[in-house]
Amino acid sequence: MFNFFKKDPKVAQDTQTNPDKPAPSKPSLFARLKSSLSRTRTQLTSKLANLVLGKKEIDAELLHQLEKILLEADLGVVVTKNIIQKLTQSLDRKQLNNPQDLFTQLKTELESHLLPLEQPLVINTETKPFVIMMIGVNGTGKTTSIGKLAHQLKNQGHSLCLAAGDTFRAAAVEQLQVWADRLAVPLIKQHSGADSASVIFDALQSCQAKEQDILIADTAGRLHTKSNLMDELKKIKRVLGKLDPTAPHEVLLVIDATTGQNALQQAEVFTKEIGVTGLILTKLDGTARGGIVFAIGQKLGLPIRYIGVGEDIEDLRPFDAKAFVEALFEETEETEHTSDKI
Ligand SMILES: Nc1nc2c(ncn2[C@@H]2O[C@H](COP(=O)(O)OP(=O)(O)OP(=O)(O)O)[C@@H](O)[C@H]2O)c(=O)[nH]1
Ligand SMILES: [Mg+2]
């Protein structure tokens, strides 16, 4: 695929090399984001490139083909229709004169859908502890994201503790214990099968006594029935409120991007039943359907706090709308981007 875009200066800043410093071999955040979105990029932008290949003009038929591509990349009907409508208006006003115009406007439209969702998690340090509850169906990446997030927050200088609130799945406590040991943060836990709300209540008490900055509570992704799970999560919120009426301060819903439209339905249930303040969208590295970010954003209007782009500890990223769209459109060959090394 050939590159339609010059590097955006705002994104490029992040990837500048200081000539005085030897470049470490670690790829920049942007290069990593780009490589993790490669499957979605193939699905979306490579098809776009083929679509306009050899074309000098943009016409209604081409926009029709574009509509199909956007739908196949899981952007969802509403976002796709909205974008095609805007492009059609520009075509009618003779503002889409060549493929470059089309790509430029498409990028702008994509960004404008994502920008309102870019609201990073802000830890209120006056609230001690700031309580984060991690929820979502089983296997979406809750426990792993807790580990990655705890790592980041600790590096930012916060003291924190973890609560092993998934008392249902065998080995869930051990999984979180591995993270707690690795990060050297305290884990409050009980035996498997214990009451989840009681574990998290104890954890908050302990965290309050130690004046820790942040508590992150893991929860189960599956119980015997879905209504059991919702009841348990509601109970956890209730008991937290007994110790601190303002807790939980953040309820993060973890969504697996590889599950496409299913993810959307799950998100709607959790949002309605529990109340969600932010999203973590995981496994964007494992899907060609990263366009689901647009559909989820449009449908739920909830802030996307983080995206998961791999299994490494560093692979949880604050969501950056501009970088996300840029990564979908940028050329992949690393050799063309020597400045991508930091
Ligand atoms: N490739 C990739 N894998 C991820 C990402 N986030 C999580 N995973 C993997 O997804 C799998 C499930 O992650 P968990 O954190 O155990 O999921 P969970 O939601 O806690 O699952 P339950 O405890 O069963 O409810 C693990 O193998 C993780 O390494 C991501 O962003 N990218
Ligand atoms: Mg888990």
DSSP state of 246: T
Burial class (CB in 10 A: 0-12, 13-18, 19+), 27: middle
| In a domain? residue 199 | yes
* Residues 247, 194 share a domain: yes
CATH of the domain at 83: 1.20.120.140
Give yes or no for a contact between 305 and 120, defined as CB atoms under 8 angstroms apart. yes
Residues 93 and 152 reside in one and the same domain: no
Quote the pLDDT of residue 261: 76
| Shared-domain flag, residues 146 and 285 | yes
pLDDT score, position 212: 96
In the reported structure, the alpha carbon of residue 15 is separated from the centroid of ligand 1 by a whole-number distance in angstroms of: 29
**What local confidence, expressed as pLDDT, does residue 2 receive?**
39
Residue 74's identity, in one-letter code, is: D
Structure tokens that stand for 2 in this block: 């050939």
- Looking at the fold, whether 110 and 145 belong to one and the same domain comes out as no
99/136 same-domain check? no
Domain match, 278 and 219 both: yes
Residues 174, 239 share a domain: yes
For residues 261 and 217, state if they share a domain: yes
Best mutation site among 144, 232, 317 for ligand 1, i.e. most ligand atoms within 8 A of its Cβ?
144
Distance 141 CA to ligand 2 centre (A): 7
- Domain annotation covers residue 12: no
Given this model, what pLDDT does residue 27 score?
63
In this structure, the residue with its CA closest to atom 14 of ligand 1 is 141
Q: What pLDDT does 126 receive?
A: 86
Q: Tell me the pTM.
A: 0.88
339 domain residue, yes or no: no
Q: Is 142 in the pocket of ligand 1 (CB under 6 A)?
A: yes
Q: Would you state the pLDDT for residue 263?
A: 82
| Mean pLDDT per 10-residue segment, the chain (342 residues) | 43 41 58 88 85 87 94 91 96 90 93 96 92 95 98 97 93 96 97 93 97 97 81 96 97 92 86 95 90 89 95 94 90 42 28
Q: Has residue 123 been placed in a domain?
A: no
> How is residue 62 written in tokens?
């081409």
> How many domains does one find in the chain?
2
pLDDT tens digits, one per residue of 218-234: 999 987 777 799 999 99
CATH number at residue 304: 3.40.50.300
**Ligand 1 and 39: CB distance under 6 A:** no
231 and 267 fall within a common domain: yes
Strands (E), the chain: 130-135, 160-163, 187-188, 214-217, 250-256, 278-282, 304-308, 316-318
In a domain, 125, yes or no: no
Does the beta carbon of 172 lie inside 6 Å of ligand 1?
A: yes
Non-local (6+) Cβ contacts of 231 within 8 A are none
Domain closes at, from 65, 90, 117? 117
Left, alpha or beta for 178 (phi > 0: left; psi -120 to 50: alpha)?
A: alpha
Please indicate, yes or no, if residue 166 is contained in any of the structural domains: yes
Q: Which domain holds residue 196?
A: 130-319
110 and 140 within one domain = no
Same domain, 142 and 216: yes
Ligand 1 atom nearest the C-alpha of 147 is: 15
Could you read off the pLDDT of 124-162 as tens digits, one per residue? 988 899 999 999 999 999 999 999 999 999 999 999 999
212 domain residue, yes or no: yes
Same-domain pairing of 66 and 153: no
Task: Collect residues with CB below 5 Å from ion ligand 2.
Answer: 142-143
Ligand 1, residues 182, 311, 315: which to mutate, most atoms within 8 A of Cβ? 311
pLDDT in tens, 198-210: 999 999 999 999 9
